[in-house]
Amino acid sequence: MSFLLWLSTLPIISYVLELIKHILIRSLRTGNLPNHIAFIMDGNRRYAKQHKLPVSQGHNMGSESLASILELCYKLNIQAVSIYAFSIENFNRSKSEVNYLMDLIQKKLSQISEHGDLVDKFGIKIIFSGNKSFLPKDVYDTFKETEERTKNNGNVILNICFPYTARDDITRSIKKIVSDVKQDKLEVEEIREETVSNNLDTKSLPPLDFMMRTSGVRRLSDYLLWEITDNDAELELLDIYWPELNQLILTWSIFKWSFRKTSLNDFFKQDKAKIE
């Protein structure tokens, strides 16, 4: 293994690897690609435990692997990426860890606004989803600032769900509908499924196509429940921890997704009868 690592540091080998990666990405872009990918970033702490690192180090490595994944999504022209950064339930964790996570996101965001070139170069527009009433004042201000700073970018939308749960999102949507009806902005008779989806946090994003969860857990954990039950949305589970996810694994998953959208896949599909 170490030999392979050493080999990949040779200039000629790394050049060839870069070339292969480039060709792969260019060819994938001529095919079908998801418009909106969501990630459940699970397993930072278990990764740290497995490698005998402090928990904070695990979170740190997780944010690094997020950066490389965003780079790939940008190169693949994917329109929107949603990440489950913090669940409302995560407030039940130890105080020090919650504080660490708050600090981490603030630090990362201030890094962005200081040397914004990366965000601006890729044209990443950052938006925040979730129930902001749970946020401390300073974190909330940083979020507002970041949204304001990146609002003119438009290549990729990065939707950071912090702190989010789908049930809370649906509840807020219903509340919004109720208050709209009270203020006579909406007729009761006009309320439909679309009315609820148009009031969810994901309203400004393209429909969810693909969700990935790491760490082999087979649950949705209250994430984008409304969006994932759509007929075209797919979920892929990976048996690795989030910090281990790299561009190669993601490329492979997207390649398989793209394959499933072609007519070559018809053979592997289930024959289903739908009554209109």
Partner 1 sequence: MAVSFEEKFQSLKQSQKLEDEVNQVIKDKRSIFKPSTKNSTKILGSFVFPRSVGEIATDKPPQGADNGKGGIPLWDFLNYNFFHLILVAMFLVYSIIRGCEYFCRRARLKFLELAYNPSQSPQLIRQDVNKLEKIPKKVSVILSLKSEHEEGGGVEGLLNDAGEVTSWCIGSGIPNLTLFEYNGVLKTQVPTLIHSINKSLSNYFGANNLPTFVVKIPRLDLVAYGNGESSPEDYLTNEKPADIEITLISTVNGKKTIADLAKTMADLASKQELQSKDITIDLIDSELTDLSGYEPDLLILFGPVLDLQGYPPWQIRLSEIYWEQDNDDVNYVVFLNALKKFSTCKVNVGK
Stretch that binds partner 1, among 105-113, 143-151, 182-190, 239-247 (CB under 8 A): 182-190
Q: Does the protein bind partner 1 through residue 185 (CB under 8 A)?
A: no
Torsion of CA 93, 98, 100, 102, to 10 degrees: 150
Task: Establish whether 42 is a catalytic residue.
Answer: yes
Residue 255 engages partner 1 in binding (rule: CB under 8 A): yes
Q: Tell me if 177 contacts partner 1 by CB under 8 A.
A: yes
Q: What angle do CA 210, 214, 63 make, to 5 degrees?
A: 95
CA–CA distance, 211 with 250 (Å, rounded to integer): 12
Residue positions counted in the chain: 276
Find the binding residues for partner 1 in span 69-88 (CB under 8 A). Answer: 74-75, 77, 87-88
Closest listed residue to residue 214, CA positions, set 105, 99, 69: 69
Task: Name which of 6 and 252 has its Cβ closer to partner 1.
Answer: 252
Strand pairing class (124-129; 36-40): unpaired
In the region spanning residues 115 to 154, those forming contacts with partner 1, defined by CB under 8 A, are none
Beta strand residue intervals within 41-168, DSSP E: 80-84, 124-129, 156-161
Helix, strand or coil, per DSSP, at residue 250: helix
Choice between 110 and 179, CB closer to partner 1: 179
Residues that contact partner 1, how many (by CB under 8 A): 76
Rg (C-alpha) for the chain, rounded Å, is: 20
Instruction: Report in angstroms how near the CB of residue 28 gets to partner 1 at its nearest.
Output: 7
Minimal distance in Å, beta carbon 206 to partner 1?
15
Binding mask 216-235 for partner 1 (x = CB under 8 A): -xxxxxx--xx-xxxx-xxx
Active site residues: 42, 90
